[in-house]
Every structure is written in structure tokens, then in C-alpha cells.
Amino acid sequence: MRIAVIGAGIIGVTTAYELACDGHQVTVIERRGAVAEEASFANAGVLAPGYVTPWAAPGMPIKVIGHLFSRYAPVRIGLPLSGRELVWMWKWYRACRLETYMAHRTQLQRLAFYSRERLHHITAALNLEYERSDGYMVLLRSQRDSKLVQAGLQVLRDAGVNFKELSPIEARKVETALNPDIDFYGAVHLPEDEVGNCRQFAWLLKNEMQRRGVEFSFNTTVARISGNGTVLVRTAHEETRAHYDAVVLCAGLDSVRLLDPLGLRIPLAAVHGYSISAAIREPLNAPASAVMDERYKVAISRLGNRVRVAGSAELGGSPEEKRSSSLQTLYKVLHDWFPGAANLSGGVQQWKGARPMLPNGPPLIGASGIAGLWLNLGHGSSGWALSCGSARILSDLIGSKAPDIDVTAFGSQRLRA
Ligand SMILES: Cc1cc2nc3c(=O)[nH]c(=O)nc-3n(C[C@H](O)[C@H](O)[C@H](O)COP(=O)(O)OP(=O)(O)OC[C@H]3O[C@@H](n4cnc5c(N)ncnc54)[C@H](O)[C@@H]3O)c2cc1C
């Protein structure tokens, strides 16, 4: 089949790859000049399937309210919220019920474990070399933090995830550069989890696909999708109509605008986050892999010769305006755990990205209900960790093959429920 993939973030790139592997003739249409320029640009890179959980969780509404006025808040609301965001919040609030959360968490984790398997398969099959390290450690500042993670650890046990609770002395043996002066309660170490450079992976996969004949149309915007595989595309010079046997929408947040005229109202909201990336100043002071400060929900990752610190979840607000208190939290957490690791005196890349978040958790993967139009979107805070599995599932569905895992939870029918 001739298939157009709209969007070259990590979801679009992996989808195009799987479709090409299945023998389809694929064109990727991307409004930016390169792959992974938006939400996939500078994320934390963490691949920890046991920690992939819905944002809609019991107790979250109270946490959000509790953080409204705190200085280093991990979660914020940018006021005023639009009508659309208020509707989103109401749906999110309803999805925080325990039964809904448990069901969504199980589905998401199944997809995340499957995705890790697919990521390893692709990496080995193509011999891809990108910045990555093994191991993930959750750092617990206090006994209270430790108590709060116990329910999550039971989930890991039930899922058979290999992890170990560590004392500070043991944690320092894994991450030898942890600040010797910081007093903390303990850590949870997950040796099979990992961190990887999402953008670099997307670039390598794009290069491989171009060698295999996949076409990339950069600086090309899809202005409109009509039914039956027809899209209206716009470049700086012209506007043309193109026809495909199938179209797969992987346009992140812009998917809302493209689906609205077709009568598909997708409750997707931007949950902004930040990262700072800086060159390692002294390797002996830098993390070996990725750690997460549980209290501030900030990840510190080693990506090759750089350290990346990422966190904050901000519903609403402008995509351009960087909130200085959110950035300050990242610098503070880095300084607390790995002082002197990074060269912060110049050349720090400060990034604000928007997680394409559905209110209830699982992404939308599959037929849209409109002839010739397929969806792979709404991966929220775990798009990198879910990408390779979601892509394989989508390609199976287009090819009328049964996916390796149960996908009923990801279908667009739930939008109408
Ligand atoms: C601070 C932060 C930290 C994160 N950390 C992690 C992490 O540790 N692990 C993890 O798994 N995930 C993480 N994420 C989430 C992850 O980055 C996202 O879920 C993922 O990047 C979403 O990918 P995407 O392809 O759906 O969207 P995008 O990367 O935004 O891609 C969509 C693409 O579609 C293009 N597009 C849109 N509209 C059109 C149009 N009309 N025509 C043509 N092209 C169009 C856009 O230009 C864009 O390139 C983090 C996110 C943030 C913000």
C-alpha cells in the first residue's frame, strides 16, 4: 500500500519504519525541517516500563492542589485554563478513580514492556549506536518518600520486575558520583531499565529508512485531511492534494486541529515539561545512567558526554514562555545530587516541550473510524518508552494481522464511550 505518515516525532518515525518493514511504500510528511523537533526533542530518555503509569491516578488531584503554591512544585497549572483544558481536567479527574487507574496502568505497562522488547530488537537488527546506558535508580530523600512509593513497588513485584531497595551506602555503590554530602533515606534500583537518546534514535532510524527508499517530505504541513486517504499539503511554495491508500496520523498535539473537522474530538492537552542539557564537566561527578528524584519528579540522565535534567508537569500556559521557577527546580535537583557534574557556565540547552496527553492514560492506536485514516497518538509522558511497540501494533493492524498483545484498550471506540 502507499501510506502517508503525518508527523516525524518518535511515534511517526517508528511507525514509518515498521510499515516499511512490512513492505509498504511510505512517505513521512513533517512540517519541521528534521525529525524529532517537537515533543521528542530533549526528553529525559528514560525507558522504565514498570514506571509507565497513567497521570490520572488516585490521590493526584489532591497532589495537584497541594502543589499550587509551592516553590519547587513538580506539577503546576498555568492559569487561566481554556474551556478545552477545563473539559480535559474534568475527564482526567474522573479517570483518577482506582478501578479506572488500575485497568489503564495494566494496559500501559503491557505496552511498555512490549515496546522495550521491540526497541531492543530494532537496535540489534540495525546495529544502531546511540547514547544509552543501563540501569535506573529512584532516589528517596526521606522515609515519607519511601512510604509513598511502596504501593508502586508492589505493582513492580506483581509484574515480575527485577528491582532492589537499597540503603544510601548501597545506592552510592551503583551511582558512585552521588553527592557525598547529601543525606537521603534510600533508593530503588532497576538494573534492567535504561536511558537512551530519543532524538538520536529517531535520526538513526530516519537515515536507515531513507536508505530503504522511505520518502521524507520536510518543511511540509498537512493543512487538512479528507476521508479516503486524501490530504492537503502545504509547502512554502505550493498547496497540493495528495492521495494515499492509507494515512497514519502521528502529529502529536496538532492532531486535534486535523481531526476536529472530521468530527473526531480527541481530548488531547499539552502538559509542558522542561529539560536542561549540559556538557559533563567532570565524568567522575556525573551519573552513570539515569536517576529520578522521587520528591521533585525530576530525572537526571547521562546521555553520552552530556547530563540531562528533566521534569515538571504544567497543564496550560504558553508553549514559548519558560517559567523560571520550573527551570530553577531542575538546577536545584542537579546540584543536590551531582554538584559539579555539568558545565553550567555556558552552552546549557534549556528546552520546554509539550507532552501530548490524553486525560485517561493509554494512547490511541488503530483505525479512526474514518475510511483510510489511522491513529497513533496521545502517548503523554512516555512516548519514547511506548513508541516501538505502538508502531509495531499499528502496522499489524493495517496489515490485518493480530498484534502480539491485546490492543482493545487502545482503540478509538473508547472516545465514543
Ligand atoms: C520534559 C519531558 C520529559 C519527557 N521524558 C520522557 C521520558 O523520559 N521517557 C519517555 O518515554 N517519554 C518522555 N517524554 C514524553 C515524550 O517525549 C513524548 O511522549 C513523545 O515525544 C511524543 O512523541 P510524538 O511523536 O507523539 O510527538 P512529537 O514528537 O511532538 O511529534 C509530532 C510531530 O508531528 C509534526 N506535525 C504536527 N502537525 C503537523 C502537520 N499538520 N503537518 C506535518 N507535521 C506535523 C510535528 O512537527 C512533530 O514533529 C517527555 C516529555 C517531556 C516534555
N-term to C-term CA, the chain? 31
- At 228, give phi and psi (nearest 5°): 55, 35
Beta bridge partners of residue 217, listed in sequence order: 29
Residue-level pLDDT at 78: 77
pLDDT reported for residue 70? 72
- Going edge to edge, which strands form the sheet with 246-249? 215-217, 25-29, 2-6, 246-249, 373-377, 364-367
Q: Is residue 262 within a helix (H) or strand (E), and if so which, with residue range?
A: none
Query: Which residues lie below 8 Å from residue 300, measured CB to CB, with a gap of 6+?
Result: 287, 290, 291, 292, 293, 307, 308, 309, 333, 334, 337, 338
Residue with cell 532516589: 139
Rounded CA separation 63/92 (Å): 14
Measure the CA–CA gap between 79 and 93, rounded to whole angstroms: 17
Q: Are strands 290-293 and 132-140 parallel, antiparallel or unpaired?
A: parallel
Task: Provide CB contacts within 8 A for 139, sequence distance 6+.
Answer: 171, 184, 187, 291, 292, 293, 294, 337
For residue 76, what pLDDT is reported? 78
Residue 308 makes CB contacts below 8 A (sequence gap 6+) with 42, 44, 45, 275, 276, 277, 299, 300, 301
Distance (angstroms) between ligand 1 centre and the Cα of 36 equals 7
d(CA 362, CA 380): 9
Looking at residue 69, its pLDDT comes to 67
269 in contact with ligand 1, CB cutoff 6 A:
no
Atom of ligand 1 nearest to the CA of 386: 11
**Contact present, 49 and 117 (Cβ < 8 Å):** no
Residue 278 contacts residue 342 (beta carbons within 8 Å): yes
Atom 1 of ligand 1, residue of closest alpha carbon: 273
**CA angle at 319 for the pair 314 and 325, rounded to the nearest 5°:** 50
Phi, psi at 339, each rounded to 5° = -65, 140
Closest CA to 118 of 379, 399, 395: 395
Among 6, 17, 37, 38, which is best to mutate for testing ligand 1, by the most ligand atoms less than 8 A from CB? 38
Q: Which helix (H) or strand (E) holds 415?
A: helix 413-416
C-alpha cell at 84: 478545552
- Give 10-residue mean pLDDT values along the chain (417 residues): 98 98 98 98 96 85 75 75 88 90 90 97 98 97 92 88 97 97 97 97 98 97 94 96 97 96 93 96 94 96 97 86 92 96 93 94 94 96 98 97 92 64
370, 95 Cβ separation under 8 angstroms: no
Probe residue for ligand 1, chosen from 116, 217, 235, 254 as the CB with the greatest number of ligand atoms within 8 Å:
254
Ligand 1, atom nearest to 221 Cα: 42
pTM recorded for the entire structure: 0.96
Task: State whether the beta carbon of 57 lies less than 6 angstroms from ligand 1.
Answer: no
Task: Give the whole-angstrom CA distance, residue 326 versus residue 324.
Answer: 5
Type of residue numbered 234: R
Hey, how many other C-beta atoms are within 10 angstroms of the C-beta on 227?
12
pLDDT of residue 416: 55
CA atoms within 13 A on the CB side of 220: 21
> Alpha-carbon distance 186 to 376, whole Å?
38
Rounded Cα distance, 195 and 47, in Å: 6
User: Beta strand 269-279 with 246-249: parallel, antiparallel or unpaired?
Assistant: unpaired
- Is 50 a pocket residue for ligand 1 (Cβ < 6 Å)? no
What pLDDT is attached to residue 360? 85
Residue written as cell 478513580?
97
